[in-house]
């Protein structure tokens, strides 16, 4: 079983790497950010609760996040493991997660921290654009659309999400560092913390993550 946490501020690239590892292990990549944004888009009760919180750059309350994650990791596709991306973000959430997993006879086997500075995060996220129709994601610096303002895939307009605007990005980074820094010590004391320099290019980060996964998974990773 491979139960892994990817930690790092918004824009660190942990989602991209999580998808690659998830494909390698055939386990689900659980992005709490994606789950929350989907809820907002769908206009569900959860979406209504978290919409204003997300747009202000604040963190969703611990009890609400724990309930969301508990339900998700209890599904059948998580029997062989999972990658949590965006959770936990506080010590309260980390302790609650350990208790939830204990009740399932599971535990976190490794935590990967994607370290990156604020200015690089702002540069990456504030340049991000999303298709208004199909949801395709672009970056005006690294992967711009062929035609300015238009989605390559479906021809619909692309736009900047409110939580990707510079002011909100800086607030999100500040909140993340303030609330999450203690998690590093939490998992370090458990002997489960590994660090990646997320400012490197995707291939270099991928290589480092692969090395870490081999340490965490051993034979499970190699085969």
The answer for residues whose C-beta is within 8 angstroms of residue 4's C-beta and 6 or more apart is: 21, 81, 82, 83, 84, 108, 109, 110, 111, 112, 213, 216
Rounded to 5°, the CA angle 213-216-219 comes to 85
3-state secondary structure of 162: helix
**Catalytic amino acids?**
14, 89, 128, 161, 172
d(CA 26, CA 24) in angstroms, rounded, equals 6
DSSP for 4-39, written as a single string = EEEE--TTSSHHHHHHHHHHHHT--EEEHHHHHHHH
Residue 153 CB coordination number (10 Å): 12
CB of 196 within 8 A of CB of 205? yes
């Amino acid at each position: 079983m491979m139960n892994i946490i990817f930690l790092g501020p918004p824009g660190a690239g942990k989602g991209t790497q999580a998808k690659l590892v998830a494909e390698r292990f055939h386990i689900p990549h659980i992005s709490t950010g994606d789950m929350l944004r989907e809820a907002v888009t769908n206009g569900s009760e959860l979406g209504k609760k978290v919409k204003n919180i997300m747009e202000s750059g604040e963190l969703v309350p611990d009890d609400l996040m724990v309930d969301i994650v508990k339900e998700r990791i209890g599904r059948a596709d998580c029997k062989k493991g999972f990658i949590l991306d965006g959770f936990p973000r506080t010590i309260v959430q980390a302790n609650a997660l350990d208790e939830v997993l204990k009740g399932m006879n599971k535990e976190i086997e490794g935590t990967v921290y994607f370290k990156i500075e604020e200015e690089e995060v702002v540069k990456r996220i504030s340049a991000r654009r999303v298709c208004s129709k199909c949801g395709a994601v672009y970056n005006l610096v690294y992967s711009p659309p062929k035609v300015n303002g238009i989605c390559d895939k479906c021809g619909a307009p692309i736009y900047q999400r409110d939580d990707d605007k510079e002011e909100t990005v800086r607030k999100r980074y500040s909140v993340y560092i303030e609330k999450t820094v203690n998690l590093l010590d939490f998992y370090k004391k458990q002997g489960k913390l590994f660090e990646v320099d997320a400012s490197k290019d995707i291939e270099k980060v991928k290589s480092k993550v692969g090395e870490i996964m081999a340490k965490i998974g051993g034979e499970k990773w190699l085969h």
